[in-house]
Amino acid sequence: MNGYKRRLKRLKYNPVTEDILKELVDIVGEKNVLTDEAKIEAYSHDETPKEKYASFPEVVVLPNSTEEVSSLVKLANRELIPVTPRGAGSGLSGGAIPDHGGIVISLENMNKVIEYDFGNMMMVLEAGVITNDVQEDLEDEGLFFAGYPMSLESCFIGGNIAENAGGGKAVKYGVTGRYIMGMEVVLPNGEIVELGGKNVKDVTGYDLKKLMIGSEGTLGIVTQATIKLLPKPTKEVALLVLFDDAKTAISTVPKIMTETGIIPTGIEFMDKLAVKTSCEYLNEHLPYEDCGAMLLIEVDGADEEQVEKDYFKIGEICEKNNAQEVYVADNHTTSERVWNVRRNIAEAFMVVSPEQSLEDITVPIASIPDLIPELQRLGEKYDIQIPCYGHAGDGNLHATLVKNPDHTMEEWYEIEHECLKELYEVTYKLGGTLSGEHGIGSKRKKYFKSAVSGEELRLMRMIKKGFDPNNIMNPGKIFDLED
Amino acid sequence: MNGYKRRLKRLKYNPVTEDILKELVDIVGEKNVLTDEAKIEAYSHDETPKEKYASFPEVVVLPNSTEEVSSLVKLANRELIPVTPRGAGSGLSGGAIPDHGGIVISLENMNKVIEYDFGNMMMVLEAGVITNDVQEDLEDEGLFFAGYPMSLESCFIGGNIAENAGGGKAVKYGVTGRYIMGMEVVLPNGEIVELGGKNVKDVTGYDLKKLMIGSEGTLGIVTQATIKLLPKPTKEVALLVLFDDAKTAISTVPKIMTETGIIPTGIEFMDKLAVKTSCEYLNEHLPYEDCGAMLLIEVDGADEEQVEKDYFKIGEICEKNNAQEVYVADNHTTSERVWNVRRNIAEAFMVVSPEQSLEDITVPIASIPDLIPELQRLGEKYDIQIPCYGHAGDGNLHATLVKNPDHTMEEWYEIEHECLKELYEVTYKLGGTLSGEHGIGSKRKKYFKSAVSGEELRLMRMIKKGFDPNNIMNPGKIFDLED
C-alpha cells in the first residue's frame, strides 16, 4: 500500500534521464555525480530506522560552489525533478531522505571557512563545515560557537540551520538559530539570496532568515552562513547527580533554575536504561548501578570563583531534593567522559535495537515532572520499554519507544503508531509539542496536523507554495500541500 | 502631488459609513468608538514629525478582548476597509499611522496581565500592557523582562513585538523577539491563532511566530504575548566614560568586547550635542562640558564581585583608548539619572527642532568607527547638524538629520532626501542596513528597495499577499505590493 501511494505521488515529477545526467555532469563534473547503487545507498537514509524510512535517490550530486547549487536547482525546477538537500545525514526525522527519488544535493564538498572576522566576533562558513571543526578551529582564539548538537562531531552547519538544532548548551545559550547572523540561500527557483549579514540588529522587512531557520530544507538550500561567536568560557564544570528514580530527578530540574536564579549551560537527564545502554556501547563505567536516573548539569563562566559558587548552589538544591550523590567533574577529561556517554545514547540504542522510535517531545519546564509517570504508564500499556533521556533543562525529552522482541514487525508498527498518538496527546495536554529540535521531516508528518491549527497549516502551505510553486524542494517534508 | 497619490491609492478601499459605525459600536460599545476630530487627532501620528507623516483615521476603536479584535478585523476584511493596529504610538517610523484612513484599532484597553507563571519563568500579557509596568510588577520576584526599549515608560508590549524593539540592554540580552515565547494573533481574515507557547524549544513547522515579530502590524494584530523572564541581576553598574571626540569614543566600542571577552549589558554612545540637548530638556547636569562624546556602559550580574571585576576591566580598556575620565555609577539613583538623559535624547530633539529625521542605521560593530567621519562629511556637505547617539554596542546608531533654520521647508525636504540616500549608501557599503530597531513603516519605505534584493522583496510581497489578500492590514507599510 505504502509503495503504491509513493508511486502515485511521484507521477507528477519527471525522472532523471540520461540527458539530465549529462547536464548534471556539465555542472559539477563527472566525479561529483553518483548513480552507482552501492555509492548512493548512504544517501538513502539518515539516523531514522532504515527499514521504515529509507528511500533511494536517482542521483546524488556534490556541488563545489553556490553557483553550482544554483544551476542544479534551476535545472531541477525547469524539469520538475525533486531535490533533496543533504548535510551529514545525521538527522533524526528523515529530513534528508529523498522520499520522491530525484536528485540529492549533498553539501559535503562545500566545507570551507570563507572568513574569520574576529573584529565582529563572527565567521563565514560554507554549509558543509562540520560543527565541531568550528570549535576546534577556534580553540586558540578565546571564542566559541554556542550551537552544540549532540551529533556535533559529524553534523554540518547547514543541517543545523535547516533543523534549528538544539543540543547540550541550549538552556543558557539558546539554539542554533540565535547564532545565525546571515545566510546565503539558493531558493527553489535557483536564485541566490543573501539574508541578514553581520548586523547584530536588523528590522529591515520581514525576517526571512528566521523563516528559513528550521524549515527543513523545504524553502531553499542554505549554502553559506555567517555565525556569531561568543567569548569562550574559561571554566566549565559538570555535575553528575544521581537520584533514586526518574521522577525525583526530573522534579528537581525546574527548581534548579527558579530557586537558585542560575541558568546552567545545560541540564541533561538520563534514566538508568539510557546510561547503561550507552556505557555498554562505549565500554565506559559511570557510577550508575545504584541509581534510577541521573542529571548531568553543566555550569560555565569567565570566572572560576563564580562558577564554583554556582555549581555549589546547584549541588545544594539537588541534595535538598533527595539526590543520592553529587559528583563534580571539574576538569575537561572527566567532564568529556560523562558527556560522551550522554552524546552516544541515541547511537547506542540504534545498535542494540534498531526497531525503535526516538522521540523529541518538548513541554514547558514546569510540566516535565508530570510527563515521567505518563511514559511509565504508556510503557506498561503497550508492553514496550520507553527509556528516556534528553535536554531536561529545556523541557525537551527524547523518550524512545523500543520494539519488544516478542512482537512481530506488524504488531510493532501498530503499537508504535497507537502509542505515539497517545504520547503526543499527553504532550499537548501539558502544553507541549511534537518536536523540540529534531524536526518533523517525514517521520512525524502524519502527526503534524494534531500539533498545529488549521490556520497555521494554511499559512505554512501558502508560504511553501509561494517559495516553491513547483514543489520540487524537499517535497512532502513537514506537511503535504493538500490533504 | 503627494495628496493626489494618496487619494488614488485609497480608491480601492471603502469608506467607513454610518452603517459600519453602527456595526463597530455593536462590537466594542459606544464609548469605545471615537470619531470626534479632537479625540482622534492623537491617533493620526506617532513620534515622527507630524507635518510630514500624520494622517487621520476615519474612526478609532478600542476593543476589550481578542474576540472583539477578531470581529473588527472580519468586518474590515469583508468591507475592504483598511485597518491600522496601534500600540502606544511611540513608534519612530510611522508604523501606527493610518496612511489610508479607515479604522485604527488601538490596543490601549487590553492592558491586563493574564497569567503569572513563575514555575516556567514566564508571564502572559495582553498586548496593551506598558513595558515598564512589567518590570515594576516583577520588582519583588527576583525576575525581569529583558526587553528594554528607550520608550519603556510608555510603549506597549504589542508594539515592541510588531517592531522587534531593541533598546539599552540588547548587547547582552538581545532584542524583544528573543523573549517572546508565544503569541495570540488576529490574522487579516479575522481568525485567531496561537503561535508558540511555553516551550523553550519548538521546531514544529515553520516559525510563524518569528515571522510575525518585526512585521510592523502588516501580517496581523498581536493581542496577547507569553514572555520569558530571566533571573534579575542583583548588581548593576553604569560607567559614564568621557572622550575628546566621537571617533575616539566609537573606536573603543568593539575593543571593549573583543579585548576583555566581556559582553556588557549595553554600550550607549552620545555625542556632545545629544547629551547637551537632553540635559537642557531635563534640567540635568552631567559632566559633559569638556568632552566631545560619551559612552554609557552598563554591566550587570548576579555576583557583586564579578560585576566589579568586569567594570574595572572595561574601565581600563577605555583608559587605554584615551578616555578622558571614567565615572562609576554604582547605585541605582545615579545610574538612573544618566540613563534618563540617554532615554530622553529623541524627545529632547523633537522639542528643540521638530523638523528632523531620526535615523536608525545599523552596521557591523567593527565598522562603527568608519561611520563617524562619514556623518561629519555629510553634515558639512548638506550644511545641517547631524547629532548622533545610540546603541553603539550593537552597531545601531541614531544619527539625526536636523533642519538648518536657514533652509526653507522645501529645501529641507530636498536636503533630507538627498542626504538620507547618501547616508544609506555609506551604510550599505559598510555592510550595514536601513533599520536596527525602529522599522521601515512609511518613513523609510521609499528607501526599502535599496536595502533588499529583488528576490527578497518578491518573497516578502508573496508572504504579505498570502496573509492578507485584500491588503487591509496596515497597508502600504514597509513596502508596496506593486512597483
**Is B300 found in the same domain as B202?**
no
Q: Give the per-residue pLDDT at A42.
A: 97
Which of helix, strand or coil describes residue B117?
strand
pLDDT (tens digit, 9 = 90+) per residue, A156-203?
999 999 999 998 899 999 999 999 999 999 999 999 999 999 999 999
Q: Give the per-residue pLDDT at B13.
A: 96
Strand A122-126's sheet: what is its strand order?
A113-117, A122-126, A221-228, A180-186, A192-196
**Is B247 found in the same domain as B157?**
no
Mean pLDDT of all residues in B253-260 = 88
* Mean pLDDT taken over chain A: 93
Task: Determine the residue among A163, A206, A219, A306 to mutate to test chain B binding: the one whose Cβ has the most chain B Cβ atoms within 10 Å.
Answer: A206
How many CB pairs lie under 8 A apart between chains A and B? 249
**Is B275 found in the same domain as B187?**
no
**Is A254 found in the same domain as A218?**
no
Find all residues with CB under 8 Å of A11, minimum gap 6, and list them.
none
pLDDT (tens digit, 9 = 90+) per residue, B431-480?
999 999 999 999 999 999 999 999 999 999 999 999 999 999 999 999 99
Q: Give the per-residue pLDDT at A248.
A: 94
Question: Treating both helix axes as pointing N-terminal to C-terminal, what angle do A66-79 and A18-28 enclose, rounded to 10 degrees?
Answer: 160
Decide if pLDDT at B127 tops 80: yes
Residue ending a domain, among A66, A82, A109, is A109
Mean pLDDT of all residues in B237-262 = 91
- Distance of alpha carbon B214 from its chain centroid, rounded? 10
Q: Quick check: is B87 in a domain?
A: yes
**Is A248 found in the same domain as A227?**
no
Neighbours of A233 (CB within 10 A): 18
Q: Which of residues 145-204 of B touch A (CB under 8 A)?
A: 163-164, 166, 170-171, 174-175, 178, 187, 191, 193-195, 197-204
For residue A404, which phi and psi values (nearest 5 degrees)? -80, 125
Cell of A128: 558543509
Q: How many angstroms separate the CA atoms of A340 and B385, rounded?
A: 60
Q: Quick check: is A313 in a domain?
A: yes
Q: Quick check: is A443 in a domain?
A: no
Per-residue pLDDT band at B303 (split at 50, 70, 90): confident
B48 touches chain A (CB under 8 A): no
**Is A191 found in the same domain as A247?**
no
Q: How many angstroms separate the CA atoms of A317 and A267, rounded?
A: 14
pLDDT (tens digit, 9 = 90+) per residue, B409-425?
999 999 999 999 999 99
Decide if pLDDT at B228 tops 60: yes
How close A402 comes to chain B (CA, Å)?
Answer: 23
Decide if pLDDT at B193 tops 50: yes
**Is A105 found in the same domain as A42?**
yes
**Is B113 found in the same domain as B46?**
yes
* Mean pLDDT taken over chain B: 93
Mean pLDDT of all residues in B234-263 = 91
Q: Which of A5-14, B238-247, B446-455 has the lowest mean pLDDT?
A: A5-14
CATH, residue A217: 3.30.465.10
Q: How many angstroms separate the CA atoms of A106 and A46, rounded?
A: 13
Which residues from A are below 8 Å from B439, CB to CB? Answer: 203
B309 touches chain A (CB under 8 A): yes
Q: Give the per-residue pLDDT at B410.
A: 96
User: Which of A116, A204, A104, A213 lies closest to A158, judged by CA?
Assistant: A213
A306 touches chain B (CB under 8 A): yes
Decide if pLDDT at A470 tops 60: yes
CATH, residue A417: 3.30.70.2740
Decide if pLDDT at A335 tops 90: no
Which of helix, strand or coil describes residue B301?
strand
Q: Quick check: is A475 in a domain?
A: no
pLDDT (tens digit, 9 = 90+) per residue, A254-306?
899 888 889 999 999 999 989 999 999 999 988 777 789 999 999 998 888 88
Per-residue pLDDT band at B6 (split at 50, 70, 90): very low
Neighbours of A84 (CB within 10 A): 28
For residue A157, which phi and psi values (nearest 5 degrees)? -65, -35
Which of helix, strand or coil describes residue B283?
coil
Residue ending a domain, among B330, B346, B362, is B346
Q: What is the DSSP string of B336-363?
A: HHHHHHHHTHHHHHHHH-SSEEE-BEE-
Per-residue pLDDT band at A238 (split at 50, 70, 90): very high
Question: Treating both helix axes as pointing N-terminal to C-terminal, what angle do B272-282 and B332-343 enclose, rounded to 10 degrees?
Answer: 110
Question: Pick from A257, A366, A459: which is nearest to B208 by CB?
Answer: A459
Question: Pick from A204, A309, A455: which is nearest to B433 by CB?
Answer: A204
B446 touches chain A (CB under 8 A): no
CATH, residue A36: 3.30.43.10
**Is A364 found in the same domain as A342?**
no
Residue ending a domain, among A186, A203, A231, is A231
Which of helix, strand or coil describes residue B101?
coil
Asked if A314 and A299 count as a contact pair (C-beta separation under 8 A), the reply is: yes
Q: Give the per-residue pLDDT at B259.
A: 86
Q: Quick check: is B447 in a domain?
A: no
Q: Quick check: is B438 in a domain?
A: no
Q: Quick check: is A465 in a domain?
A: no
First CA to last CA distance, chain B: 18
Cell of A82: 525533486
How close B406 comes to chain A (CA, Å)?
Answer: 33
What's chain A look like in SS3?
A: CHHHHHHHHHCCCCCCCHHHHHHHHHHHCHHHEECCHHHHHHHCCCCCCHHHHCCCCCEEECCCCHHHHHHHHHHHHHHCCCEEEECCCCCCCCCCCCCCCCEEEECCCCCCEEEEECCCCEEEEECCCEHHHHHHHHCCCCEECCCECCCCCCCEHHHHHHHCCCECCHHHHCCHHHHEEEEEEECCCCCEEEEECCCCCCCCCCCHHHHHCCCCCCCCEEEEEEEECEECCCEEEEEEEEECCHHHHHHHHHHHHHHHCCCCCEEEEEEHHHHHHHHHHHCCCCCCCCCCEEEEEEEEECCHHHHHHHHHHHHHHHHHCCCCEEEEECCHHHHHHHHHHHHCHHHHHHHHCCCEEECECECCHHHHHHHHHHHHHHHHHHCCECCCEEEHHHCEECCEEECCCCCCHHHHHHHHHHHHHHHHHHHHHCCCECECCCCCCCCCHHHHHHHCCHHHHHHHHHHHHHHCCCCCECCCCCCCCCC
CATH, residue B338: 3.30.70.2190
Decide if pLDDT at A437 tops 80: yes
A40 touches chain B (CB under 8 A): no
Asked if A166 and A146 count as a contact pair (C-beta separation under 8 A), the reply is: no
Asked if B243 and B210 count as a contact pair (C-beta separation under 8 A), the reply is: no
ipTM: 0.95
Q: How many angstroms separate the CA atoms of A358 and A399, rounded?
A: 6
Q: How many angstroms separate the CA atoms of B450 and B441, rounded?
A: 15
Asked if B122 and B226 count as a contact pair (C-beta separation under 8 A), the reply is: yes
Q: Give the per-residue pLDDT at B1.
A: 36
Which residues from A are below 8 Å from B464, CB to CB? Answer: 206
Find all residues with CB under 8 Å of B99, minimum gap 6, and list them.
B6, B55, B84, B442, B475, B476, B477
Q: How many angstroms separate the CA atoms of A287 and A325, rounded?
A: 10
Q: Quick check: is A480 in a domain?
A: no
Q: Which of A45-54, A209-218, B64-73 has the lowest mean pLDDT?
A: A45-54
Decide if pLDDT at B334 tops 90: no
**Is B118 found in the same domain as B71?**
yes
**Is B365 found in the same domain as B341?**
no
How close B249 comes to chain A (CA, Å)?
Answer: 17
Per-residue pLDDT band at A315 (split at 50, 70, 90): very high
Q: How many angstroms separate the CA atoms of B59 and B69, rounded?
A: 15
How close B70 comes to chain A (CA, Å)?
Answer: 14
Decide if pLDDT at A322 tops 90: yes
Inspect the interface and report whether the beta carbons of B254 and A191 lie closer than 8 Å: no
Find all residues with CB under 8 Å of A446, minimum gap 6, and list them.
none
Helix (H) or strand (E) holding B113: strand B113-117
pLDDT (tens digit, 9 = 90+) per residue, A132-152?
999 999 988 889 999 989 899
Asked if B68 and B49 count as a contact pair (C-beta separation under 8 A), the reply is: no
Question: Pick from A120, A197, A456: which is nearest to B365 by CB?
Answer: A120
Q: Give the per-residue pLDDT at A353.
A: 82
Q: Which domain holds residue B252?
A: 235-346
Inspect the interface and report whether the beta carbons of A206 and B214 lie closer than 8 Å: yes
Decide if pLDDT at A10 tops 60: no
Q: Work out how many domains chain B is built from and give that number.
A: 3
Task: Tell me the C-alpha to C-alpha distance, in Å, between residue B286 and each of B241, B293, B307, B312, B419.
Answer: 11, 12, 24, 21, 32
How close B216 comes to chain A (CA, Å)?
Answer: 9
Which residues from B are below 8 Å from A430, CB to CB? Answer: none
Q: Give the per-residue pLDDT at A290.
A: 75
**Is B48 found in the same domain as B168?**
yes
Q: How many angstroms separate the CA atoms of A396 and A365, rounded?
A: 8
Mean pLDDT of all residues in B18-36 = 98
Task: Tell me the C-alpha to C-alpha distance, in Å, between residue B439 and each of A473, B15, B83, B164, B452.
Answer: 32, 28, 19, 8, 14
Give residue B401's region: left, alpha or beta (phi > 0; psi -120 to 50): beta
- Of all residues in chain B, the percent with pLDDT exceeding 90 is 84
